[in-house]
Amino acid sequence: MKIEVVQTTTRDGDTAHNLRGILEALAQCAPDTDILLFPESHLTGFLTEDDVGMLSEAIDGVAVQAVVEAARRHNVAVVLGLYENDGGTFYNTTLFIAPEGILLTYRKTHLWLPEHGIVLPGDRFATVEWRGVRLGLLICYDSEFPETARALKTLGAQLMLITDGLAEPEDHVHRVSVMARAMENQVFAVVANRVGEGPDGCVFVGASLAVDPYGQTLFEAGRGESRHSVTLDLSLIGKARAFHDYSANQRIRLPGERIEHASGVWELVID
C-alpha cells in the first residue's frame, strides 16, 4: 500500500482556501498512490467557541462532497479532518474517503485542553478493510493514550492513520508515542502533521512520520511544507507477530461493546 503524506499549513476558518489546496494535492497524486493523508482538521482548520457554529462543516455539505467526488475521479482515498457540524453538535472529526465514498467517520475521543467547550468527544473507535488492509483512524492527542491504538488493534487494524496538529514545545512527543503505539500493537502507523504558525502564535512542528510494526521509523519529515511517499510492506506485520505476538500474551482486555456492521466497519463503543 502506497501512502502520500501532505505536511502543509492550514488556514484556520478558511475552508475555501484549504479545499483548493486539497483538490490540487489530489490532482498531483502519483498513479499508484492508494491514500493521501492530511493534517488534523485540515479542511476547516481549528475553530473557536465563537466561530464553530458558523465555520464548521457538515459531512454531507458541499466542501466534503467536493472531496468525495475528487477521490472518486482520481481513484485515491483521502484521510481528511474537519470540525464537523452534526445538526448543531460539533466534533473534531477525521474521515476516510475512498473512491467508493466515505467509509469511516472517526470523532476524536481525547480532546486537547483548548477543545473542551468547542467540540464534544467521540464515543467509539472503528476500522474498515480497504484494498486488502484493515485500517483505523486516530487524531493527534489520541496517540498519547495506549488504549486508543489497542482499541484499533482489537478491531483488527493493520494500519493506523493519524491526523496531527502538534505544536511547540512538544516537538518530540508524537515521535515517541507513535513509535510505541506501532511497536506494542505490531501495526503500521502513518502521521501527517501541520506546519506554520497558528492564529494564537503557536508554531506547528511538522515531523510527520511513518513507523513499521517493529517501531522503526520509515521516514520523518522536517519542519517545513513537504510531501512524502511511503510504500508499506504488509508482510512485516506477520513477521513481527511470528516472533512474539503481544495480543496473544495480553492479559487485560479493553471494555466496550464490539459491533460488526454489514458494511465491513467494525466498531468498539466506549463509555
Strands 77-86 and 89-98, sheet pairing = antiparallel
108 is catalytic: yes
Write the DSSP assignment of 41-84 as a string of letters.
TTTT----TTTHHHH-B-TTSHHHHHHHHHHHHHT-EEEEEEEE
Query: What is the full DSSP assignment across 156-175?
Result: T-SEEEEE---BTT-TTHHH
> Are 126 and 153 contacting, i.e. CB atoms less than 8 angstroms apart?
no
Q: How far apart are the C-alpha atoms of 241 and 186, rounded to whole Å?
A: 7
Q: Where are the alpha helices (DSSP H) in 186-245?
A: 235-243
Nine-digit cell at 239? 513477521
Q: Which residues pair with 139 in a beta bridge?
A: 163
Whether 40 sits among the annotated catalytic residues: the reply is yes
Name the catalytic one among 29, 57, 84, 140.
Answer: 140
Rounded to whole angstroms, the Cα distance separating 215 from 182 reads 6
Contact predicate 44/13, CB 8 Å:
yes
134: three-class secondary structure by DSSP = strand
Query: Is position 100 annotated as part of the catalytic site?
Result: no
Catalytic residue among 40, 84, 115, 267: 40
Pairing of strands 133-139, 159-163: parallel
Percent helix, strand and coil across the chain, each to the nearest 5: 25, 35, 40
User: Which one of 4, 57, 84, 108 is the catalytic residue?
Assistant: 108
| Cis peptide bond N-terminal to 169, omega within 30 | yes
Q: Which three cell numbers stand for residue 40?
A: 488534523
Which positions are catalytic?
A: 40, 108, 140
